[in-house]
Amino acid sequence: MLTTAEIVRNAWRAGLMVPAFNVPYLPMVEPLVRAVVDQNVFALIDTARIEWLTFESQGPAAVYREFVKWRNPDYVRLHLDHVPVIDEDDFEVDYVPIIQEALDLGYDSVMIDGSKLPLEANIAATRQIAEMAHRVGAPCEAELGAIVREGAGPLPPYEELFASGMGFTGVEEAARFVRETGCDWLSVAVGNLHGAVSKAFKDQKKTKARLNLDHLAKLRDATGIPLVLHGGSGIQRAYMLEAMKRGIAKVNVATEIRQAYETGVRETGSVKGGQDAVYERAVWMLRDYFAISGSRERVVK
């Protein structure tokens, strides 16, 4: 059986991508796995620290226990998403034990987010986690650049942010970062936005973001590893499809399916209604938005 690192690299080489679905609510796991299998794709189920604190996924152990009920490694693997060194409120996080717990549980891949650190400190923190992950055969994702989170504070208009390139991942820095950390995948900032999680903004529709594709191609050439796009919900489809050809091999999706679940529960008064809504939205994303239905054999080979 191929490792998760090999599968994502196969997607990268083929100009395809592996969707990574975040699960802020545990009942979302089953319909997501079912949608992935029905559409014959390979995907990751993600869980991020901010979701344990803000929503109801509870933590790495709870997500792992739910995942193993539906585990199907030919189609889905489990990924520890965003564990920050400095969190969204600018507090330091004791990140090493969190990531070690996930590796001990059997997570297939992990992410360390040192993007709020100076470059040297981000390199040091990422190198430490990459070495931890590699000791048990798991790939390590890292982040470089500043991916803005909607609703996190007053910001200039999106078009102004995009035109300025504010926070975009630097090409020379990315080459050095990958070389010195040994990370397997790199999350980059090229115009993408994280979704809002605060109560005031979490139900709002995401900004229709676009991507600087020329800058993305430069990052691909400079790093030579699969690149990751966070904030996959809301990106204009033409940019998303082109991004796959320019180095993006993993795309995180959170807002699109979280809001589907919450709306389904609210409108039907039942968890089953939320699960049905998640399944339908995931199928739409895989089949109509990403257009990767039937692609599994091209990456799991």
Catalytic residues: 81
And the tokens for 261?
Answer: 């679940």
State whether the Cα torsion 54-60-63-66 is positive or negative: negative
Pairing of strands 76-84, 227-229: unpaired
And the tokens for 182?
Answer: 């040994």
Contact 209, 189 (CB under 8 A): no
Distance, in Å, from the CA atom of 270 to the CA atom of 278, rounded to the nearest integer, reads 13
Classify the phi-psi angles of 19: left when phi > 0, otherwise alpha if psi is within -120 to 50, otherwise beta. Answer: beta
Amino acid at residue number 48: A
Distance, in Å, from the CA atom of 35 to the CA atom of 57, rounded to the nearest integer, reads 20
State the DSSP code for 149. Answer: B
Distance, in Å, from the CA atom of 57 to the CA atom of 50, rounded to the nearest integer, reads 10
Contact 230, 180 (CB under 8 A): no
Residue whose structure tokens are 């798991």:
138
CB atoms within 10 A of CB 53: 13
Distance, in Å, from the CA atom of 219 to the CA atom of 225, rounded to the nearest integer, reads 9
Instruction: State phi, psi for 80 to the nearest 5 degrees.
Output: -85, 110
